[in-house]
Each structure stands twice: as C-alpha cells, then as structure tokens.
C-alpha cells in the first residue's frame, strides 16, 4: 500500500532477498518491527524477503505504537501528540490518536479529534473521562467509577488492529496513576510501545528526565525519545538542557519543539519544514 515501484532495477543481494527502489507516495513500512517515514516523492532502497516484484503490500503493514508521556502535566504532550497525529494523517496513514483517560474535561481529546479531521469519534479517542481536574483515578472514584488496565489495553489493542500508526497520550507523568493500580509505564510495557517523553526545556528538567528514564526498563529506554519543549519565556537553563542531557542519553534521540505562540494551528505548524523534519525524526527508527 501507499507505494509504487519507481525504477525497474532489481538486484539480488542474497538467495532469498532482493533490493527494489521505490518511489514513496505517502509512507512506507519496512521489514521487521521498524517503520521509516518518507515524504512523498522521495526514493529509497528497501530489502525484501522475496525476489518477486511487486512486494506484497501486507509485508509492509507493521503497526507502530508510540506512547506520549512526559515529566509532568502541562509539559506539552497534547501539543506534540496533535502535531504527530496531523503529520501522520497528512502522510495518508490510518492514524489513531488516543487519549484513553481524561480528567477535568475532554480538551485533549478534542485537539486530537481535530488533528485527524474527526476520523475517529470522540468516544473512540477518549472512552474514559471524568469531570474533576485531578488525577484520573481519583476523579473516577468521585463518580463511583473505575478504569482497569485490561480495559484500556483492550481498547488500544483494538485500534492497533485497525490502524497503521497509533499515538497514545498518557495523563500527567510516567507514573501518574491512570486507573486502578496502573499508570502510563504499565501501558508502555503492555503495548511494547515506543515512549516519547515530553518535557519543558527549563531549569530542573534534566533531573526529571533522568528519573523518568530510570523508571523504564533498559529495553524501553533504548528506544525512547525525548522532546524538549521551549517555554513561552526562556529561563536560565533553556537551550542548555539538551547538551547536558547528551552526557546521559543519546543526542540523536533528543529533539526540540519551539514555542508555537498562541493560538497556533497544528495544520499550519506541520507545514513548517523545521517542524516536519523534527516530527519525522522523532518517528523514525
Ligand atoms: N510548544 C508550544 N507552543 C505553544 N503552546 C504550547 C507549547 N507547548 C505547550 N503549550 C501550551 O501549554 C499548555 C500545556 O500543554 P499541553 O500540551 O496541554 O500539556 P500536557 O498535555 O503535557 O498536559 C497548553 O495550553 C499548550 O497549548
Ligand atoms: Mg495533555
């Protein structure tokens, strides 16, 4: 799907593999568990397990699950998730942007709904929502309700089967309770998702990021990405955190999102070349 063979040249590189050059129309899934995104018109080489062309479309259907967490509430998770969702959506992918659990209103879910032009309903994006603007599990209790890890996992899993890319936004930070005895870390493990840790680029964030990374397994940390979000008003540490963090975490998996002003439109922001490049790199394996 989403591709066509552009140049006829195919060469065998091993008994059961072949290289083909394809021109990407939207996005391409690569073999194994990796996904690489390319802008329309770019050409790239891929290796296939079959020497026969064209490569079966199903070969490329690897659903990728990203989990957007953060060092805190208000870090910029929804801003980033909306931009990623819009970017993937405009690439032509069937993208599910989920905010399974909301408290204090459904604003986050509405932003995700808008980012994907309503291709999922509000209830599909956000099945569990509670009025009080406190930790979701406490807000649920106030309404004599509860959210189970199994139910949230089943909901996300259902969308994994129907989508080509999944973005899940947690609530609060990595260990903030989401429901009955589970948090974002538990879902990341259940889903074997790639965590994207969003954090404000301000004084103290390196400690918060290192604590968050410590709370993840080595296997999960090895694929984690960090996005530092510039605050509206820089402080003394803004701009220097990425360099300091690079002493403990690979710089190639640390990214920066500039302050976008208020109000901003995700549709317009994802057209900026610097933002597109950043989003693509965050998502690339
Ligand atoms: N890069 C940014 N540019 C403009 N506004 C931002 C940016 N990052 C965060 N904000 C604003 O800061 C507030 C908190 O961001 P949000 O994405 O909702 O955080 P979280 O989802 O982590 O709670 C929102 O009002 C959001 O619009
Ligand atoms: Mg949010």
**Tens digit of pLDDT for each residue in 79-121?**
999 999 999 999 889 999 999 999 999 999 999 999 999 999 9
**Tens digit of pLDDT for each residue in 4-53?**
332 323 322 222 233 344 444 444 444 343 445 544 444 443 434 444 44
Q: Is 43 a catalytic residue?
A: no
pLDDT(236) > 60:
yes
Nearest bound ligand to the CA of residue 101: 2
- Domains of the chain, by residue range, sit at 3-60, 64-283
CATH class, 64-283 region? alpha beta
Active-site choice (21, 99, 219, 223): 99
Instruction: Tell me the angle at which helices 77-90 and 107-115 cross, rounded to the nearest 10 degrees.
Output: 20
Residues 108-146, buried b or exposed e (16+ Cβ, 10 A)?
Answer: bbbbbbbbbeebbeeebbbbbbbeeeebbbebbeeeeee
Q: How close is the Cα of 224 to the center of ligand 1, in Å?
A: 21
Instruction: Using only the alpha carbons of the chain, give its radius of gyration.
Output: 20
Cis preceding linkage at 197, omega within 30: no
Residue 28 phi/psi, 5-degree rounding, is -130, 135
Q: How close is the Cα of 232 to the center of ligand 1, in Å?
A: 10
- Is any ligand 1 atom within 6 A of the Cβ of residue 76? yes
């Amino acid at each position: 799907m989403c591709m066509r063979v552009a140049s006829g040249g195919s060469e065998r590189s091993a008994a059961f593999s072949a290289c083909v050059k394809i021109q990407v129309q939207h996005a391409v899934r690569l073999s194994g568990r990796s996904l690489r995104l390319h802008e329309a018109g770019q050409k790239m080489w891929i290796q296939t397990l079959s020497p026969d062309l064209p490569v079966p479309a199903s070969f490329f259907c690897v659903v990728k699950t990203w989990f957007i967490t953060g060092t805190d509430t208000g870090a910029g998770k929804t801003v980033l998730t909306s931009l990623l969702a819009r970017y993937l959506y405009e690439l032509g992918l069937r993208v599910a942007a989920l905010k399974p659990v909301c408290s204090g209103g459904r604003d986050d879910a509405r932003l995700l709904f808008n980012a994907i032009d309503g291709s999922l309903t509000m209830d599909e994006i956000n099945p569990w929502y509670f009025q009080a603007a406190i930790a979701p599990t406490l807000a649920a209790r106030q309404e004599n309700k509860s959210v189970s890890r199994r139910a949230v996992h089943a909901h996300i899993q259902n969308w994994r089967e129907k989508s080509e890319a999944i973005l899940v936004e947690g609530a609060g930070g990595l260990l903030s309770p989401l429901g009955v005895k589970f948090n974002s870390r538990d879902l990341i493990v259940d889903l074997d998702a790639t965590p994207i840790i969003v954090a404000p680029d301000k004084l103290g964030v390196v400690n918060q990021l290192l604590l968050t990374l410590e709370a993840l397994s080595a296997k999960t940390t090895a694929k984690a990405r960090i996005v530092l979000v510039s605050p509206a008003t820089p402080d003394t540490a803004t701009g220097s955190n990425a360099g300091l963090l690079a002493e403990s975490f690979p710089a190639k998996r640390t990214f920066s999102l500039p302050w976008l002003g208020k109000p901003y439109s995700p549709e317009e922001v994802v057209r900026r070349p610097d933002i597109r490049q950043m989003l693509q790199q965050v998502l690339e394996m």
